[in-house]
Chain A
Amino acid sequence: MRRVWAAVAAAVLLASCGGGTTSRSSVLGDLADDYIVLAYQRFHRNAVALEDALSALCASPSSGSLSDARNALSAVRNSWSRTQAVWVGPVMERRSWALVRWPVANDEIEQLIADRSIELDYERLSSRIGADQRGVGAVDYLLGAGEAALDALGDSRRCRYLEGVAMVIAEEAALLEADWGQSWEGGDAYREVFADDGRGDLDRVVNDMLFLLERITDLELGNALGAMGREAVPTAIDEGPAGAGVDDLHQRLIGLQTVLIGRADEPAGLSPLLGADLTARLAAQFDAAFDAVGVVSPPLRRAVADSPQTVIKARDAIKAVQITVATEVVSRLGVAIGFSDADGDSSG
């Protein structure tokens, strides 16, 4: 009998110490180390590069420096879009999106620039103007399309606005990188909090992915296509002069794929928790989604108007991913255990 108890104790001890390679905590830790922290580092690097590119553009406006600035903006937008699949923790607490990306109001930006009584310093641009007057959308608007921006940049306030907005983005990127990699609210890095919490953050990650998918399929594409109401709403797609809507879609899908199942050049995401069969099915669905998005000709708003069938197919393909996440992934990860919130004993 003593042997039996010893064996049981040893098994429990082993189990409690070993943890296993697919524990949720270790998977979340890997996801943080191998993807999220790196994604914010990349975003920060790109934001600093945008600052530099805009300074260079303002110092010597030319076709070349304008092109460099637009490329730098594209890199910032893309790296930001890739983080969206895991908008948990600092980015939500800090409401970073209000500083980095929000649909902009062009008229209000012009009013701010025109009102010479307003000092366009960092303090003003970071905390005393609306979210719709800054971020990558504002930079996109001010850089515009074609070469027209070069003439406009003769106005020093325009350049100050551009550089100030870029600085706000870069500062926010630096803070997010530090939150995840160094210290969060004076304590451990959020990476540690994220991995240790396990249960809650896994729920938040999956729910964030679901929210992002619903945002893409219903709020953006669905509304733009007129599938969500009696009227089509083309402005549901937030796409500036750069016409980067399709690229943005692509980047967000990459972020989702990386977090869910990983990519060839990225870590495994949550796939150790999902199992091989579900991972394979999701991989096929992502492939189909990438193919369908690849057929859509940018800019996205024009594609909605001119070739809606390609957008509908892209939306359907993304919807397939959405359904799998909302059902099987949720179920497999226990994100929405079906007990009633009240007092459940029934699960279906």
Chain B
Amino acid sequence: MPFGLSTAQRLAAAARQPVAADSVAVFRIGFGLVAVYSSVRFLAKGWVDRLYLAPEHHLTYLGFGWVQPWPAPWMHLHMVVLALLGGCIALGYRHRLAAALFVAGFAYAEMIDAALYLNHYWFVTLAGLLLVLLPVHHRWSLDARQRRVQAARSVPAGVVWALRAQLGVVYLFAGLAKLNGDWLLRAQPMRLWLADRTHIPIIGPLLDEPLPAYGASWAGAFFDLTIVGWLLWRRSRPWAYAALAGFHLVTGALFQIGVFPWVMIVGTLVFFAPDWPVRARAILRPRWPGGSVVGSGRRAGASPGDARSAGLAGPVVAALLVLALVQMALPLRHYAYPGNVRWTEEGYYWSWRVMVTEKAGYAEYRITDPATGHTWLAHPGLVLTNWQAEQADVRPDLVHATAHLLAQHYREQDKVDVEVRADVWVSMNGRPPRRMVDPAVDLAALPRSVSPSKWILADGALP
């Protein structure tokens, strides 16, 4: 494979080329600030109490049942520490340690309850992991100023590529997930969502019409699938970024998607030339000392020596490759399961299936005491809070987890091993409700596993 080898060698050589470290430093600063904002917001809105401390039980991820919240006030303190670590990342103060602790602390909070799963939490975890691995703290950081690391005005190009790839993965798989009949041919769930926004002044009445929904669906898919290309092409980049910012601001205004728009708006600045911050500063303030180093962004102000000091060691490169492989595999793993992932949700987590389905469900749990044969209904509220039950009503893995919690409840309360069956009806993307779970199966008797769940009933109506 001489050609392949040569291509790989050329790629490796290109990845080692020094480029300005400015944009990755800005990425680090932006990430840190969003981390601070997100953590403070979490505290300010009382979510620590409501989401972590109030539930008597948590719907844990398979294999992570041991991840439980700290008791109050330690969980609050946990969020405060995350905010402080975000500040350390932004300032570049003991950056690697701060980023590593932040990722561990953030991932821990993320793993407490699967009903809280959000794609952008996963993105924050991955981006945080990259910030641990990559030399993004040699520029505009306290670490450099206080000489804990050697200050460097350049980094290997591979550092910028890694951050861009991380963002690109989100858009690519989010776009691929939209290539389904519901999204493209029925404009669903966009029609449902837009029809819910008709109270918005001026454009509101338009949102109840099919055309805007079809337009938004197709534009959304086109945007996700192509935006990385437009951002990489120098000529289209400013327009693409403006479109990206507009897209995220509009979706942020229309839908309840929290800090996600800001994460992406700030993060995608890394697609600009690596020295864009200095260029921007030079345009805004031409006499600023940094303005003198404005160049192509590839070598201006950068030197191989710098790049070596802020370089990528072999183990780091290996870790990056593993991370890349994992990220390619996770969104595709649903092909290993039968059925449609939008319905079964097997392979849903960590796969960037952002805003592609709208589900509303109804679930009731039938408890049978095998000793007496008596059967009765149990409300999920017996073991879950309302917000947990809302998620558990539509997600098979959470139905399974709820069945186990109910069995545990009766085991502890009545000292009996009950059977738990679930009758779950789900309307997906506006369709008539269909039964999602086999109501004859005792879910309490089935261990949770990564194997395909045969008790999830197929929905053959899905395109």
Contacts and interface: CB of A to CB of B under 8 A. Distances in A.
A230 B357 CA distance: 38
Contacts of A331: 192, 358-360, 427, 429-430
Given A328-B432, A345-B118, A337 B196 contact: yes
B342 interface: yes
- Give the size category of B's interface with A: 35 or more
Contacts of B345: 348
Given A338-B390, A346-B117, A348-B395, 11 more contacts: A16-B201, A23-B198, A23-B205, A199-B199, A228-B377, A230-B374, A337-B255, A338-B360, A342-B42, A342-B116, A345-B257
Nearest to B345: A348
B377 A338 contact: no
Interface residues of A, number: 47
B192 A342 contact: no
B358 A338 contact: yes
Nearest to B45: A342
Interface in B231-288: 255-260
A199 B196 CA distance: 8
A334 interface: yes
Nearest to B342: A348
A332 B430 contact: yes
21 contacts: A15-B204, A198-B198, A227-B376, A227-B377, A324-B433, A327-B360, A328-B430, A334-B192, A337-B255, A337-B358, A339-B257, A340-B118, A340-B387, A341-B390, A343-B118, A344-B256, A345-B257, A345-B258, A347-B357, A348-B359, A348-B395
Contacts of B202: 12, 15-16
Nearest to B390: A336
B205 A20 contact: yes
Interface in B334-384: 342, 345, 353-362, 369, 374, 376-377, 379
Given A24-B198, A337-B358, A343 B376 contact: no
A241 interface: no
B196 to A, nearest CB: 3
Nearest to A339: B256
A146 interface: no
A229 B189 CA distance: 38
The 9 A-B pairs of least Cβ separation, nearest first, read: A334-B196, A343-B258, A348-B357, A327-B427, A326-B362, A327-B433, A331-B360, A348-B359, A328-B427
B326 interface: no
B106 to A, nearest CB: 13
B167 to A, nearest CB: 15
A96 to B, nearest CB: 25
B306 to A, nearest CB: 38
Nearest to B376: A229
Interface string B117-156: 1111000000000000000000000000000000000000
Nearest to A322: B362
B387 A328 contact: no
Contacts of A346: 117-119, 353-355
Contacts, number: 153
Interface string A6-19: 00000110011011
B5 interface: no
A261 B429 CA distance: 21
B433 A323 contact: yes
Contacts of B203: 12, 15-16
A336 B386 CA distance: 12
Contacts of B323: none
Contacts of B42: 342
A255 interface: no
B428 A348 contact: yes
Contacts of B342: 348
A84 B361 CA distance: 23
B304 to A, nearest CB: 41
Interface string B423-443: 001111111110000000000
A347 B359 contact: yes
Nearest to B38: A343
Nearest to B255: A339
A333 interface: yes
Contacts of A323: 362, 425, 433
A109 B329 CA distance: 70
A214 to B, nearest CB: 9
Nearest to B372: A230
A218 to B, nearest CB: 7
A345 B358 contact: no
Contacts of A327: 360-362, 425-427, 433
A154 interface: no
- Interface centre among B42, B353, B354, B358, by most chain A C-beta atoms within 10 angstroms, is B358
Contacts of B429: 331
A207 to B, nearest CB: 11
B115 interface: yes
Taking each of B115, B119, B198, B355, which has the highest tally of chain A beta carbons within 10 Å of its own beta carbon?
Answer: B198
B274 to A, nearest CB: 29
Interface in A15-73: 15-16, 18-20, 22-25
A261 to B, nearest CB: 15
Nearest to A25: B199
A336 B196 CA distance: 10
A218 B377 contact: yes
Contact of A19 (B118, B192, B205): B205
